[in-house]
């Protein structure tokens, strides 16, 4: 706490971390499908914010922008190595009870389908859809994606429609 009673930078940072780390991680993971990259980028964005020593005007949008840049750079580096790797298999959603083998297969199928539908979306619409799914405000979305705030509502509706149509065309009704 500062002498004037306002929270210190450290306290504000901790509050921000507690409120946003999981959301930013989840957003990056949904965006990329890469758990390790998403975790690294989310952590590094917060490290950079702490090293900055002060909070920007819109910390949420700042964190999203930095994390997206880090993810993109890391992903482009990793793409060069991916040919040597095989996709991870057999990972479980930790919050779910242990599924039966049939349920696990169904869940894995659905996961692959959702992932495929997301990957087929235009980049900007995918990012909008995922940011809104994490509850970010129109203002944060507009700042992070450099859009006019007044157009966010209509673009979000379009993004949601695009996802549903792609999913439906490819895999049937959601």
Residue 84 or 98: the one with the smaller Cβ distance to another protein is: 98
Residue 61 or 84: the one with the smaller Cβ distance to another protein is: 61
Least distance CB 116 / another protein (angstroms): 10
Contact 121, 166 (CB under 8 A): yes
Least distance CB 81 / another protein (angstroms): 20
CA dihedral 114, 115, 121, 125 (to 10 degrees): 80
Contact 24, 64 (CB under 8 A): yes
Residue 47 or 105: the one with the smaller Cβ distance to another protein is: 47
> Of the candidates 119, 34, 16, which has an alpha carbon nearest to the alpha carbon of residue 76?
34
Residue 3 or 84: the one with the smaller Cβ distance to another protein is: 3
CA distances from 133 to 30, 107, 170 (A): 10, 20, 22
Least distance CB 14 / another protein (angstroms): 4
Contact positions toward another protein, by CB under 8 A? Answer: 2, 9-10, 13-14, 17-18, 21-22, 25-26, 29-30, 33, 35, 39, 43, 46-48, 50-54, 56, 58, 61-62, 65-66, 68-70, 72-73, 91-95, 107, 110-111, 114-115, 118, 129-130, 132-133, 137-138, 143, 146, 150, 153-154, 156-157, 160-161, 163-164, 167, 174
Residue 50 or 120: the one with the smaller Cβ distance to another protein is: 50
CA distances from 142 to 71, 72, 172 (A): 19, 19, 32
Q: How far apart are CA 14 and CA 10, in angstroms?
A: 6
Least distance CB 104 / another protein (angstroms): 13
Number of residues that this document lists for the chain: 174
Query: Which tokens go with 31?
Result: 């965006």
């Amino acid at each position: 706490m500062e002498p004037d009673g306002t929270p210190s930078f450290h306290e504000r940072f901790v509050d921000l971390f507690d409120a946003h780390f999981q959301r930013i991680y989840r957003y990056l993971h949904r965006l990329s499908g890469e758990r390790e990259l998403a975790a690294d980028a989310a952590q590094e964005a917060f490290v950079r914010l702490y090293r900055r020593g002060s909070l920007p005007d819109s910390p949420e949008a700042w964190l999203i922008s930095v994390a997206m840049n880090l993810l993109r750079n890391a992903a482009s580096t990793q793409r060069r190595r991916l040919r040597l790797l095989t996709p991870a298999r057999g990972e479980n959603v930790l919050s779910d009870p242990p599924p039966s083998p049939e349920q696990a297969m169904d869940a894995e199928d659905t996961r692959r389908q959702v992932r495929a539908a997301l990957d087929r979306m235009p980049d900007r619409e995918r990012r909008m859809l995922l940011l809104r799914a994490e509850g970010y405000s129109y203002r944060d979305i507009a700042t992070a994606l450099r859009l006019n705030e007044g157009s966010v509502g209509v673009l979000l509706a379009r993004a949601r429609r695009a996802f549903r149509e792609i999913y439906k065309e490819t895999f049937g009704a959601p």
